Amino acid sequence: MTKQEKIQFVIDELGRLYPETPIPLDHKDPYTLLIAVLLSAQCTDLRVNQVTPELFRLADTPFKMAKVTVEEIRAIIRPCGLSPRKSKAIHELSNILIEKYKGEVPAEFELLES
């Protein structure tokens, strides 16, 4: 078996053993998942899932979130910890998505990092 065949075998076997990796964070689309992941830093998934319903009732798109004040976001996400920084990051991220990507979360990981 060649090296490439071995690699493909491992990939195929992992795909068979783990056909779908569940995402423990409640979300409905790429934007709400991105916000939930941001909130999950230094916080449990359980706590994030308790906080996000209220946040997403208020604003579940970048356009809606950009209209919410940082203070309003902070008040909702306070139980997740690091709320001053996270609330500012959520607000800034929403504005970046609007300005650079027409409110859509880019599919390419490299664009998310830029």
CA distance 12 to 9: 5
Q: 66 in a domain, yes or no?
A: yes
- State pLDDT tens for residues 8-43: 999 889 888 888 877 899 999 999 999 999 999 999
Q: What is the pLDDT of residue 14?
A: 87
pLDDT cut 70: percent of the chain above it: 99
Q: 52 in a domain, yes or no?
A: yes
Q: What is the pLDDT of residue 111?
A: 76
Q: Are 62 and 31 in contact (CB under 8 A)?
A: yes
Q: 11 in a domain, yes or no?
A: no
Q: 103 in a domain, yes or no?
A: yes
User: What is the tally of structural domains in the chain?
Assistant: 1
**pTM above threshold 0.85:** no
The boundaries of the domain holding residue 68 are 30-113
- State pLDDT tens for residues 52-71: 999 999 999 999 999 999 99
What CATH number did the domain enclosing 62 receive?
Answer: 1.10.340.30
Q: 3 in a domain, yes or no?
A: no
Q: What integer best gives the mean pLDDT of the chain?
A: 93
Q: 24 in a domain, yes or no?
A: no
Q: 8 in a domain, yes or no?
A: no
